[in-house]
Structure 1
Amino acid sequence: MRRLGLIFLISGCVKPRISSLKVADFVLVDTSQPATEYLHMQRSMDYPIYYTGPVKDTINIGQRYERRRTPIPRWPEIFPVSYTYSDKNLRIEVDTSFDANCLEEHYSKDWEIDPDLTRNYHASVFTIQNISDSIICMGETFSIYYMHRELKNRQGQWIQMEKSLSQELFCGTGQPTIYIKPGEMILSKVKHYKGTFKTDCRLVFGRNDRVVYSNVFSEFVDDKIFSFNDTEN
Structure 2
Amino acid sequence: MTEDTRTTRDERATSETPSRRRSVLLFLRDLLVIFVVAVLVSFLIKTFLIRSFFIPSQSMEQTLVQDDRIIVNQLVPELAAIERGDVVVFKDPGGWLPARVEEEQPPVVAAVDWFLAFVGLSAPDSNDHLVKRVIGLPGDTVVCCNALGQMTVNGVPLDEPYVALPPGETKVSRDDFEVVVPEDSLWVMGDNRYNSKDSRYNTETPLKGFVPTDNVVGRAVVVSWPISHWTFLDNYPEVFAGVDEGAE
**Range class of TM-score, shorter chain:** under 0.3
Between structure 1 and structure 2, the one with the greater Rg is 2
Q: State the TM-score, normalizing by the size of structure 1.
A: 0.23
Higher helix residue share: 2
Higher strand residue share: 1
